[in-house]
Structure 1
C-alpha cells in the first residue's frame, strides 16, 4: 500500500514538472550514484591496503621481537596500536563491502563516528604512551626495566583498548539514529543525546590534539636542553 502511494505521488510530481527539470533531477541522481559507487569501490580498497600494511608491520615487529633485535617494552605499545589499525581496517572494509548505493552515506557517517571515537582514543593514548616510555628510558635508563615492566605495559595496553571500546560504545545510540533516522525520538533525541555527544566528541578531539602536541613540545624542549648542557 505504501509502495503504491509513493509511486502515485512520484507520478503526480512528474506530471507537474517540466522535461528540463526532470532531466536535471535525473542528471543529479546519476552524479550521486556515480559518487556513491566510487565511495563503495575505493573505501574497501584503501582498507585492504591498510590491513595488508598493518599485518606486515605486525609480523615484522613480532619476528624482530622473537629474534630479540628490538626491545619488547618499547614496542609493546606499537604492537597494540598496530592491532587496533588491523581491527579498524577489517571493520571499515566489512562495512563498505556490505553497504549498497542506498546505505552508503549512512555507512560513511557511522564509520566516521567510529574513527572519531575509537580511533582518536587509540591514537592519542598510543602517542602519549610512546612519549612517556621514551622519556623514562632517557631520564631513568637504569630504572626503566623495573618501572616499565611487561605486566604494567600490558595493563596500559588493555586499559587503552577498554577505554576506546567503551567510549565508542557510548555513541551506539547516535549510530542507531544515523542508520535509522525514524528512531531519533525514541533512541537518541537531538537536544538530550545527540548534541551532548557531539560536543563531547569535539572536546575530546581538541584535548587529544592539544595533549599530544604539548607532549611532543616538552620532549623537544628537553632534548634541546640536554643538547645545550652537553656543549
Structure 2
C-alpha cells in the first residue's frame, strides 16, 4: 500500500466545515491528498476551524471544476454509496474495499469518491467507478456525516498500512512473561499453607477451596511480576501470624 497514491475526492460539498472535518480525518489516518470537485464554499474559515491542525491538507487541496478532471489520471476508482443499488458493479464494505485500495495503490493512482451531503453520488458518477463502497450502518439511522464516512474508510486503510507494526496478540504487549507451571505450583503450596495458618482453610475439611482458587488464578493467567507480588503478600502475612503467636 502506498498512501501517496490515494486521493480522497469530495464532490460538490455544501458545507465548508465538512471539508475541514474530512481533512482532519485524513490526517489522523496518514492520508494527505484531498481533491475538491466544485465545492460550494471554499476556502472558508469554517473549514480551517474544523480542520483542527490539518490546515496543510486544506492548503494543498486540489480544486477542480468537474469529477472527470479530478480522476483523469487515476487507474482505480472507488465510489461510496449511501444505499445499496441494483448495479452491475461489486458492492463492498469498507474493510473489503480497503484491501482492494491497498493492493492497487502500490502501483496505481487510486481515488475514493464521496458525494454530496444530501444525496451522495449520482448514478452517472458511480458509473465512473471500478467498485462501489457501502458503509453498513444501522437501518434505523443510516445517515452518516461526511467526515465520519471518510474517517471509517481512512481507518481501514490505516490499519492495513501499519499491520506489520502491530502486535499479533495482546500478549505481545505484556511487560513480563507469564508464570510457568512450576512457579504456579509453588504459589499454590504457599497460598494453601498461608490460608491454613490464618485459619481460613481447615485441612481436615478443605472442601473445594483450593480447587476453586486454582480455577480463579488459571483464568486470569498471572505473569511473573504479579506472582511475585502475591508471594510477597503471603510471606508478610505468615510473618505477621507468627509474630502474633
Pair in the same fold by TM > 0.5:
no
TM range (shorter): under 0.3
Structure with higher helix content: 1
TM-score normalised over the length of structure 2 = 0.21
